[in-house]
Chains A and B, each alone.
Chain A
């Protein structure tokens, strides 16, 4: 029984360490003292400050627009990619496509950021909204592919033959059989792309120009100047928002009854 207690203690310690910093941040977002050291009194001042900061609100809007657009477009591309890999008949083609697909997933953000910076500059895309959007689409596509592909692979091929046997055209098979079947995977991919985009800092930092910023980049530049409790307030709000996304994602994958649907993000 002592063994049991020790192991629970260890797990509890890990959980505390994992969550303490987050709640520490949120706790001090209500501090009227202005720093993260002495809790002087309760205030919502930092939250009101955020909502009065038009510049910040525009940045939030930028971030959300980039996230939604990039997630939507990368989902379409990703589904096409997954189908392309699924339909690839030769094993080598399949493996080659998968390896190329995974390059951007394993590449460090700095490499992606730097190489995209060179790329956009070369072809003359102005650094700003368009470059950030393109970069986000680019790094979200492989994630969508990886979320959709397992669904395609687990789909029984006899289902497709059954549809063809019943007189469906290839287009019918796609829209009436395949797409409905992989819908949970598509949703999961969309959510993953969304959160990847919302969370990305390094790539955006490289390819953004003057006058266009996302939340992560903004937090970075604020944090470099030191502690400011409006960041805390912002993080509390983001935490809430993330939790909502997580719960949404959880239910979508749960509906897809795939236990390993949950992923860690990088």
Chain B
């Protein structure tokens, strides 16, 4: 008896399994350190140099301090600061796509998980709404370009129907081009969001919904008082990842407008701007833009996280306490 307990004790003190945990997760952290963190600091460092190539001739790197940042924020003669214009383009494009994305995704997630509706053929619907995400964004964008170009089927149909004349061009209007980009982003991502949110809702204790219904809460009350507060961590996660994706929006508008961001650069996003500088390996300016994008992402992510999680922390803790009391 005594012997046995001693061996157990010795084993516990002799082998720390925690160590193996660290070793197993080490590859990720090493990869992260070398391939993400180091390049990140290098980007910041590089943004302080004049460093580009003209044809086959390398210029720099020459230390210029914050000159690249100053250049980015120096207004043109008419007061236009291009990086601000591209930032607002990016924001508008993202919001236009994200609002319907989250509204529809929430709606679908609630419908699919509702124990009262108990929808049949969920697997089928889930697959179908996820489908657009499987297409490469560039291909999807190319498809839209082909559909809406001024020799494309939609233009021809509208012309034949007498709705527009030949001079009409979908790519001449801010609203149509932005609309297309938003629509594509929405189509590509609402399925993904729906599935993540569904997982979140299914993780909520079903008895809460049942008891709320018994207490006389209607569907809307259940949604705002029970589903949303308990879904909030997942929702915030979705929102922040979608936002980071939105700030980095590139392939859809790039391919749709052939990199031009027409009309009048109204659909040119920050990363398209960044790409413009990479044409001549202008690492200085491109680095400065990257750093700005990083800062924007950090700030916005922080704000969203603070706002949404702070708002729902209090009631959640409150209710937990109440619930605990009942059980006791």
B is bound to A: no
